[in-house]
């Protein structure tokens, strides 16, 4: 089987250094090969919803899809507050069908020094990329695939997959 390639894209003023911090956990946990996009995207003003004062994650993911090369997936890192219509906010979102995901640092920054922010980005980066490779939500609150809806949820999670999710990943890789 050919290696799964995950293109990492900086959007707006999201620090590229945080993308670099994703390399090791993505490779170790999911077996993906991270590569950096040749371009970064501008601030996603097109996705801004003035009524919510937030940015629609689906609109951002639609801008990531044209960057895909055959067989690749894409994960964009953005520094704006994201939403989907049925939630107050999301840390990120992934769409398996389009092979695109987006992750926001906006709420992950709250109360965080650089080390904690880096860890939170790694945890949620593995989570979003996990969806791209076919993993679903997990019930284990320590697993990277657990659905975090609060910062304490994120902080409780590990950058690693639980035993059940690791086994599922092996099945998906066949």
Distance CA 123, CA 164 (A): 17
The domain locations on the chain are 4-136
Give the N- to C-terminal CA distance of the chain in Å, as an integer. 8
pLDDT above 70 covers a percentage of the chain that reads 98
CATH class for the domain made up of 4-136: alpha beta
What is the pLDDT at residue 3? 63
Distance CA 130, CA 54 (A): 25
Predicted TM-score (pTM) of this structure = 0.96
Stated as kind and residue range, the H or E segment containing 23 is helix 23-30
pLDDT tens figures, 42-83: 999 999 999 999 999 999 999 999 999 999 999 999 999 999
């Amino acid at each position: 089987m050919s290696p799964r390639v995950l293109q990492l894209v900086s959007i707006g003023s999201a620090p590229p250094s945080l993308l670099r911090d994703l390399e090791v956990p993505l490779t170790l946990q999911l077996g993906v090969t991270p590569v950096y996009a040749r371009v970064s995207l501008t601030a996603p003003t097109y996705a801004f919803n003035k009524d919510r004062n937030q940015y629609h994650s689906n609109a951002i993911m639609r801008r990531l899809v044209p960057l895909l090369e055959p067989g690749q997936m894409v994960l964009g890192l953005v520094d704006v507050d994201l939403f989907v219509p049925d939630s107050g906010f999301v840390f990120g979102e992934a769409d398996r069908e389009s092979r695109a995901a987006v992750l926001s640092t906006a709420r992950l920054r709250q109360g965080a020094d650089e080390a904690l922010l880096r860890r939170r980005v790694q945890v949620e980066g593995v989570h979003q990329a996990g969806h791209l490779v076919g993993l679903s939500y997990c019930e284990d609150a320590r697993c990277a695939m657990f659905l975090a809806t609060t910062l304490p949820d994120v902080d409780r999670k590990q950058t690693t997959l639980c035993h059940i999710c690791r086994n599922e990943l092996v099945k998906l890789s066949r």
